[in-house]
Chain A
Amino acid sequence: MPGKLKVKIVAGRHLPVMDRASDLTDAFVEVKFGNTTFKTDVYLKSLNPQWNSEWFKFEVDDEDLQDEPLQITVLDHDTYSANDAIGKVYIDIDPLLYSEAATVISGWFPIYDTIHGIRGEINVIVKVDLFNDLNRFRQSSCGVKFFCTTSIPKCYRAVIIHGFVEELVVNEDPEYQWIDRIRTPRASNEARQRLISLMSGELQRKIGLKVLEMRGNAVVGYLQCFDLEGESGLVVRAIGTACTLDKLSSPAAFLPACNSPSKEMKEIPFNEDPNPNTHSSGPSTPLKNQTYSFSPSKSYSRQSSSSDTDLSLTPKTAPYPQGPRIYLCPSSPPLSCGSLHLKKSCLLLSESSLPPHHSSLGSPVLRKSVSFSEELFLAASGMGSGSAGKEGGPFKALLRQQTQSALEQRGGSPHRFCKRREFPFFTLTAFPPGFLVHVGGVVSARSVKLLDRIHNPAFVGIMGNTRSYKLLDWNSFNSDEPETRDAWWAEIRQEIKSHAKALGCHAVVGYSESTSICEEVCILSASGTAAVLNPRFLQDGTLEGCLEQRLEENLPVGCGFCHIPYDELNMPFPAHLTYCYNCRKQKVPDVLFTTIDLPTDATVVGKGCLIQARLCRLKKKAQAEANATAISNLLPFMEYEVHTQLMNKLKLKGMNALFGLRIQITVGENMLMGLASATGVYLAALPTPGGIQIAGKTPNDGSYEQHISHMQKKINDTIAKNKELYEINPPETSEELIGSPIPEPRQHSRLLRSQSESSDEVTELDLSHGKKDAFVLEIDDTDALEDVHSLLTDVPPPPGFYSCNTEIMPGINNWTSEIQMFTSVRVTRLSSLNLTNQALNKNFNDLCENLLKSLYFKLRSMIPCCLCHVNFTVSLPEDELIQVTVTAVAITFDKNQALQTTKTHVEKSLQRASTDNEELLQFPLELCSDSIPSHPFPPAKAVTVEKASPMGEGNFRNRSAPPCANSTVGVVKMTPLSFIPGAKITKYLGIINMFFIRETTSLREEGGVSGFLHAFIAEVFAMVRAHVAALGGNAVVSYIMKQCVFMENPNKNQAQCLINVSGDAVVFVRESDLEVVSTQHPTANCQPLCAGGEVTT
């Protein structure tokens, strides 16, 4: 289906001098799309050419529209020799392909050259005329919206959340081709940029196709990554969550959706699906679901067999050697090696680590996977299932089944099922109210693979000509090429799925995937949070009213998600369970680890804080197979230690839950690095954490004893101090309340339970015992001593600073509009002399701590402020180099209001109610501000410039106002968060996904490595902002720097860096320019982020 792409080149400015003789440039522009190229006239002798070209028209397939970027090259005309390239601009025209986003791309783009960086700017206008009958088409997926945001975008409503979509494409890396030896670095870099741009386009189109097949219209939580595998190629892969979204049209819809869950529920018309699924078998009654039940069981058996067999079979099936897989799943048969207890803790980060009882492992999975239909039958007929441990059992089973079937049914035609419905994963980290029913805990899986050349007879090399790129879709080679990247990921996902099963969960939320590559070894990692979801959002069909009712009565606000989803009798791992401290009806674990954001309705005591576990492990240098084996042997130990560190630090902070947990394992030549970041909070629903108790091994030694008690005291002091710092003082609960085994209202339901009750009591006894038992740290060697020391060396942030790696800081809700997004990079060289594990750990720890300290210092003018979405990435570019990259946003909050932060649950809910009211009251104001033209940066800026240069008293002559003041560049905010404090996002303009390479052969002249990278990152920011502004936006949300690969060769005075960033371009409108606050704190508003004029108006 053709569409018409129209491009106009308007003007250039600040061009570099290309002709030394005249100090001027004879510039012209080539506009290229696909195979077609147009040229403008040469504009002679100017650094600010005005081409004002005609409209260049490209008639192209919409498939190409999606895949290809528009390529604009600015050149200097040279009569006698070849024309010199000044630089290029790649414009992704995808945002123009769906109706609600941008309609035109118009603005100044930095002209970028991979060797020289930004060289001037060019003004371009791009439009697309699309013909209307898109749906006939299956190769293109125009119209599917993409969002990086990992929650339902603010001005949309989720009708259905379909589920996981993934895709990957593979190609040869131009940098590693023979031709690279003879072409210039610039040509090589450009070939790479172009290829990746093309591959991203194709990937996005393919994902879009899958979404259309699922009858969705959007991908939320879209995460695209590159694996630079070197010799073996280039992999671009993406995952996301397919949804059907509805644009909220009325302004009322801008109210936060979480105000009243019940109201929200009624609002959702279950049968209003705009794309009624014609393939599905209508409304899904439980019995209808049976139709498909053969499929799940089939897939389950496949899964269980895979986990059974992989261990032994892998070496046989793999065509070439491969490192052993790591099994984190308790359902895998016990391994003969002695490290089983390690594996257990790797998997179930949600639970305390007591010695595991393997006897119970495996059974829950088995039961659930085979006997689904049976369970369903029991539940449907209203009889209690004997195996369900509590009154909620049958209900839970029903719920689980429904969701399960919803998940499985959504594939549309059943024959697609196997391929599509395999993974009930969601890349979302925040959910519509009521979506998340229970959270089981973190599930993760890693696998070590050996990379080999992606060879295929069908592959055609890249010879520099765009059209000869042969993009291979490895899906199509699955049958004859089993060891593809696709299969690798499928394996990992399968494992994650089975872990979730073991936790009694049918879904995984907050799911993400990552890789770490060093030479030919690659670690694939996936992690997520096992969860039970409300099927309401997952299926197109109707839902029984009774279920909804039960749902509500069973989900007390603020604690429902903490309740365990698994059966307490058949717990997949040992854990302390208590009755929920909030509702006292259901069981909760003593500690909860998750990869998602804190649910909005969760009740939290005090504030949260960033908790990091850092770890290094030395590894012998080895080749291929031996290397992979060494790595996979180390992995479980690392996971265990990371987990222990997290647990200790959490206890030290006096908190009981981790959100946004992200564990990154990085592989290098001679070491492995582990970095886990999460936000610790005190959930009111979970029990108060016990302290940390230190136990020595040699109790008779007097001085040793003294040392121990000294340390014990220090630890206790730290805990007390932290509790004060983070305002953790939960309401005192009387022992009897907790102790009373079963609260009154539950009596009637006990009828359903039979023999399970007695055991219930047992658990409880055990529990109360466990609760008093402090977490014991045994100091039996120097290593352990180090650990305890390192625990105590973590310095809290300076007063006025908070930090977290989730979207927002629990306990702070009065953000001002002052935000500052930043990226900080550090590379440290380790001296090879002291390479011991301890020294490494200390170095790494210091590196991270110093980096944080530096951030606090730099941002001190923003106090009181919180660093949100702190995202650390570690890489090991060379033998002795550690690179840490941090991206985060600092947000200032209002201290005065912060002081009023309520401490008890009751007050808190009261306050919440009052804010609800406020929001209602604000509503008319919002109407006003919405009606203001969408450009929130009026030309008022001229005022500020004048202000700075006051036209004073003695103005002797009539002076014209300072020129150019009205044409300053519009401010574009960037934030890794999905929202902008104090503002409403009114429109999503499309996804920004950019890849840049920068190289230099004059490193010293550009200020060394720091100067080089500093300039490059600033340029990347500038290019992102320019693209957003050209789309008509004024902010990027959910911004992420996915890759920052830096390589240097100081001896040759060279360096190269690759950066990949993405985010959502949006238009936001300030919530209230009218608010009194701005006049009260005029100084606070002279922030660096808002144009001064904007504040004063």
Chain B
Amino acid sequence: MTSELDIFVGNTTLIDEDVYRLWLDGYSVSDAVALRVRSGILEQTGATAAVLQSDTMDHYRTFHMLERLLHAPPKLLHQLIFQIPPSRQALLIERYYAFDEAFVREVLGKKLSKGTKKDLDDISTKTGITLKSCRRQFDNFKRVFKVVEEMRGSLVDNIQQHFLLSDRLSRDYAAIVFFANNRFETGKKKLQYLSFGDFAFCAELMIQNWTLGAVGEAPTDPDSQVDDMDVDLDKEFLQDLKELKVLVADKDLLDLHKSLVCTTLRGKLTVFSEMEANFKNLSRGLVNVAAKLTHNKDVRDLFVDLVEKFVEPCRSDHWPLADVRLFLNQYSASVHSLDGFRHQALWDRYMGTLRGCLLRLYHD
């Protein structure tokens, strides 16, 4: 006796969170049943394996049918086929778009293209995440990217509107989209110590300060060609950054800057002498990073440069985080006292963001 057909349809669609997780994690029905058996559910409920099998199949079928709608979450809200309470809808969407830290670190900053998709096999083996789950996560990234890429307005808002994600998850996606668009290198060995959270933090600061949207130009000029205000860095701003070069190119200015910083920080840093010795190197590093940002290639290497030019030297001298903070504050603030320097606003826009990023990047 074999069951040819076995279905259960509720007026309110039944969602089993545990099974949903297994499905999202890409387990096959038989694997999912095995995992559920191991969880001791049979003992708790007195059910048989056959019942569990049928239940799992049912849920998988439902999820499979829901998947089409999950690709465009507003559809899930409007559709009439599945009656799902709003709180459950939100849960379905949120979980569907959630991603694994290990996975996102692998693809962050990579082009979301077919080529990358082919590498998913390797990522799957490397991270231990099932290929199915990798595909879902990758497709989610790509889908969100495609929808909001060309859209004007706040990136996070756009994501939230079109995918109905929580604030937290929307910000994460904004970071992913931002990184994918600017192709920031995150995979180098040097950068392995950084978490997705570190990058997302930096991305948020950069979106807020370094993109076109940050200046708030768009509303005044709706017909302008600058469509993707939050996704692309402000090209004009990047061009202007070259002007900062004077800070290291002009010897007097550099010395003055150094003396201003050293005077203020004397006695306040545990690593004062190291700072004093390294000041010019560090300052050159930071300013050169800025000056190079006109080239796309160098934009991509931003994080590599920051780590190489600033984080690593400080770390080798065992700067405590508090000292880094004091130094960076003073380093950016004292520029205001340099009379010969005319690009105060530009400096603040650059250094304000960079300071935040560096502090976040500075850890082991």
Q: Considering the chains assembled together, what is the distance between the CA atoms of A913 and B160 in angstroms? A: 55
User: Is residue A1021 within 8 Å, beta carbon to beta carbon, of the partner chain?
Assistant: yes
Residue B277 at the chain A interface, CB threshold 8 Å:
no
Q: Which of A931-966 contact B (CB under 8 A)?
A: 941, 944-945, 947-952, 955-957, 959-960, 962-965
Q: Which residues 303-335 of B have a CB within 8 angstroms of A?
A: none
The reply to whether A968 and B7 contact each other, CB–CB distance below 8 Å, is: no
B1 touches A963 (CB 8 A): no
Residue of B nearest to A799 (CB): B46
Specify which of B6, B48, B54, B160 is in contact with A949 (CB 8 Å cutoff): B160
B46 with A959: CB separation less than 8 A: no
Of the candidates A853, A944, A957, the one whose C-beta lies within 8 Å of that of B86 is: A944
Give residues 5-51 of B contacting A (CB, 8 Å). 5-15, 45-48, 50-51
Check if B224 is an interface residue, CB within 8 A of chain A: no
Q: List chain A residues, Cβ under 8 A from B64.
A: 1007, 1011
Residue B57 CB within 8 A of the other chain: yes
- A967-988 residues at the B interface, CB under 8 angstroms: 967-969, 971-974
Note all chain B residues with C-beta closer than 8 A to A742: none
Give residues 507-522 of A contacting B (CB, 8 Å).
none
Assess whether B61 is in contact with A1011, with CB atoms less than 8 Å apart. Answer: yes
- A779: interface (CB < 8 Å): no
CA distance A706 to B77 in the complex (A): 65
> Which B residues from 66 to 123 make CB contacts under 8 A with A?
74-75, 77-91, 94
B208 contacts partner chain A, Cβ-Cβ < 8 Å: yes
Decide: A1091 near B85, CB < 8 A? Known: A949-B164, A962-B164, A1014-B61: yes
Contact of A826 among B5, B9, B81, B90 (CB under 8 A): B5
In the complex, whether B238 has a CB less than 8 A from a CB of chain A is: no
Residue pair B51, A944 in contact (C-beta under 8 Å): no
Decide: B2 and A1007 in contact? CB cutoff 8 A: no
Q: Which of the residues B11, B46, B157 comes within 8 Å of A798, measured between beta carbons?
A: B46
Asked whether A1088 and B78 contact (CB < 8 A) given A828-B1, A854-B51, the answer is no
**A452 at the B interface (CB under 8 A):** no
**Complex interface: chain B residues within 8 A of A1017 (CB):** 7, 9
Q: A552 to B156, alpha carbons, bound, how many Å?
A: 74
Cβ of B3 under 8 Å from chain A: yes
B166 at the interface (CB under 8 A from A): yes
Are B80 and A969 closer than 8 Å at their CB atoms?
Answer: yes
Tell me whether B65 is interfacial, beta carbon within 8 Å: yes
Contact in complex: B5, A1009 (CB < 8 Å): yes
A855 to B8, CA, bound (A): 8
Chain A contacts with B in 1009-1029, Cβ cutoff 8 A: 1009-1011, 1013-1015, 1017-1019, 1021-1023, 1025-1026
Interface members, chain A 20-73 (any B CB < 8 Å): none
- The smallest C-beta distance from A998 to any residue of chain B, in angstroms, reads 13
Q: Taking the complex as formed, is B165 at the interface, i.e. its CB lies under 8 A from any CB of chain A? A: yes
With A14-B79, A948-B90, A1092-B87 as given contacts, are A798 and B12 in contact (CB-CB < 8 Å)? no
Counting chain A CB atoms within 10 Å of each CB, the highest count among B3, B80, B157 belongs to B80
Q: Decide: B55 and A1021 in contact? CB cutoff 8 A.
A: no
Task: Assess the B12–A824 pair: CB atoms within 8 A.
Answer: no
Q: Which of A972, A1014, A1089 contacts B7 (CB 8 A)?
A: A1014
Interface locus among A299-307, A457-465, A491-499, A842-850: A842-850
A881 within 8 A of B: yes
Q: Closest chain A residue to B207 by CB distance?
A: A956
A850 and B51 contacting across the interface, CB-CB below 8 Å:
yes
Residue in B closest to A881 when the chains form the complex, CB atoms: B4
Contact B77 A1091 (CB under 8 A): no
Alpha-carbon separation in the docked complex, A973 to B12 (Å):
8
Q: What is the bound-complex CA distance between A949 and B168, given in angstroms? A: 8
Are A13 and B78 in contact, with the CB atoms below 8 A? yes
- Contact string, A267-299, partner B, CB cutoff 8 A, digits 1/0? 000000000000000000000000000000000
Residue of A nearest to B73 (CB): A964
Are B5 and A110 closer than 8 Å at their CB atoms? no
Q: Is A721 an interface residue (CB 8 A)?
A: no
Query: Is A474 on the interface with B (CB-CB < 8 A)?
Result: no
Docked-complex contact B8 and A858, CB < 8 angstroms: yes
With contacts A850-B50, A1013-B5 taken as known, whether A967 is within 8 angstroms of B78 at the C-beta atoms is yes
Q: From known contacts A826-B6, A973-B11, A1021-B9, infer whether A1088 and B164 are also in contact, taking CB-CB under 8 Å.
A: no
Interchain nearest-CB distance for B82 vs A (Å): 7
Indicate if B273 sits at the interface (CB-CB under 8 A): no
**B154 beta carbon closer than 8 Å to chain A:** yes
Beyond A964-B74, A1017-B9, whether A1009 also contacts B167 by CB under 8 A is no
Tell me how far the C-beta of B262 lies from the nearest C-beta in chain A, rounded to whole angstroms: 35
Residues of B within 8 Å of A1019, CB to CB, are: 81
**7 tightest A-B contacts by CB?**
A948-B90, A949-B166, A827-B5, A822-B10, A821-B11, A1017-B9, A1088-B12
Q: Beyond the given A1014-B61, A1086-B87, could you list 7 further A-B residue pairs with CB under 8 A, ordered by the A residue number?
A: A121-B78, A829-B2, A831-B1, A883-B5, A969-B80, A971-B83, A972-B83
14 contacts between A and B (CB under 8 A): A825-B7, A827-B5, A854-B54, A883-B5, A959-B154, A973-B11, A1017-B7, A1021-B11, A1022-B83, A1025-B83, A1026-B80, A1046-B5, A1088-B13, A1090-B85
A: which residues have CB within 8 A of B? 13-14, 108, 110, 118, 121, 798, 820-831, 843, 846-847, 850, 853-858, 860, 881, 883, 941, 944-945, 947-952, 955-957, 959-960, 962-965, 967-969, 971-974, 1007, 1009-1011, 1013-1015, 1017-1019, 1021-1023, 1025-1026, 1046, 1086-1093
B residues whose Cβ falls under 8 Å from a Cβ of A: 1-15, 45-48, 50-52, 54-55, 57-58, 61-62, 64-65, 74-75, 77-91, 94, 154, 156-157, 160-161, 164-170, 204, 208
